[in-house]
Structure 1
Amino acid sequence: RRETDRLIRDYLLSRIQPAYRDFKNAMKAIALSGDQTLATEYNEVQAIFDRVISKLKTMSYGYTGFFDLVKVEEQQLDKMIEFDWNLVSTAERIQEKARNVAKSDPGKLREALDDLKNELLSLEDTLISRENIIKGVGEK
């Protein structure tokens, strides 16, 4: 189970990081548009992307070492794996939406950015919920 947990998160990163690169390809079009609000929106989405990637890189693996501060029980690990499998479809949607941003016409760029932003925020919320499961927050 613990190895599965790590493999799922590695897979998520393998989807999110290329999506981030696709997203960054839109920066030139945004800069050329001269639209400051669009540039601001782009920067907001980039910040969310950065947070999500950071969370994916640093979240607990479900591995419990002898000196770990947070001990992950098998039951919690099962919940985390279920969360992670659900995250796979979200990561794939993010990849698709990032491609849409990269290839959007200038008139549709704002809508594509909003779609990507909403998907990233949803992923971030799910990652926070996952973290809470590990810590036992909200469990009775």
Structure 2
Amino acid sequence: MPDQYVELAKENMGALERLVKGLPGIQGYVDKNLRRDADKRLRTLIAGQLEEQKQRLFDIQQKLLKGGGLKWLDDVDGAIQKLQILIDRIKTASYGYAGLFDAVAIREEQLDALHRFDVALAGRVVMVENAVDALAAAVANKEDVGVIADQLTDIVAELNNMFNRREEAVLDTALLLDTSSVPEIDPTLLAESE
């Protein structure tokens, strides 16, 4: 999945960019730029998917408001607020990339580990979607929305914690090489991204 974005970036390179990429010492820099672009595209995709779920939560709030579920509005609103914070963090995240003249250089294996964070996050977006589905069903069936809203909030908190670890790893690149710091990834997701 994410490597498709790298290929797209390569296809969109102009003739001058391809020429410059061929210069000694420049290829790695250009490749890192392509990875940076791919990383940004993946995070934009993740943020977009989470935005869709946030919109569904707004729709659920409206149904609660119209259906007499006022006591659960705060629970759903809390989930929306936490989800919005996560979306904003994903949209504005550091690329985990050091430019040509930056003081801290990021090596390829560190970029791979950072990529694993983003793939892991992408793989867990479905958990948010499933929780929103359960919440919508609870509202439709007039069941206890509070418990399910709490579960959704817990899932979003887990994703925020994962993103905290990503940010820590960007600041301390040694963490990227520590396999215990990098999240587990479903092997099928990793295969799709390569």
Scaled by the length of structure 1, the TM-score of the pair is 0.82
CA shift in 2, pair 1:25/1:102, >3 Å: farther
Question: What percent of counterpart residues are identical?
Answer: 20
Q: Distance in 1 between matches of 2:150 and 2:92?
A: 26
Q: Distance in 1 between matches of 2:111 and 2:60?
A: 38
Alignment of 1:65-84 (within 5 A): 65=99, 72-84=106-118
Who is 2:147 aligned against? 111
- Gaps in structure 2 of 5+ consecutive residues: 1-34, 179-194
CA contact (8 A) 2:36 2:95 kept: yes
> Which is bigger in relative contact order (C-alpha 8 A, separation at least 6)?
1
Give per-residue Cα distances to partners, 1:25-54, cap 9 Å, x unaligned. Answer: 11123333231xx22222221220111011
Q: Post-superposition shift, 1:86?
A: 0.9
Tell me the secondary structure at the aligned position of residue 26 of structure 1.
helix
Tell me the secondary structure at the aligned position of residue 114 of structure 2.
helix
Q: How many residues align?
A: 138
- Structure showing greater radius of gyration is 2
Q: Distance in 2 between matches of 1:70 and 1:102?
A: 46
Scaled by the length of structure 2, the TM-score of the pair is 0.62
Who is 1:96 aligned against? 130
Q: Distance in 2 between matches of 1:138 and 1:76?
A: 8
CA shift in 2, pair 1:70/1:92, >3 Å: farther
Who is 2:159 aligned against? 123
After the TM superposition, which parts of structure 1 deviate over 6 Å for at least 4 consecutive aligned residues? 67-70
Alignment of 1:53-68 (within 5 A): 53-65=87-99
| Structure 2 residue corresponding to 1:25, chosen from 33, 54, 59 | 59
Who is 2:186 aligned against? none
Letter in 2 for 1:98: V
Q: Post-superposition shift, 1:91?
A: 0.8
CA contact (8 A) 2:106 2:173 kept: no
Q: Post-superposition shift, 1:13?
A: 1.4
Q: Post-superposition shift, 1:9?
A: 1.0
CA contact (8 A) 2:57 2:76 kept: no
Tell me the secondary structure at the aligned position of residue 127 of structure 1.
helix
CA shift in 2, pair 1:137/1:71, >3 Å: closer
CA shift in 2, pair 1:29/1:131, >3 Å: same
CA contact (8 A) 1:13 1:56 kept: yes
Q: Distance in 1 between matches of 2:38 and 2:88?
A: 20
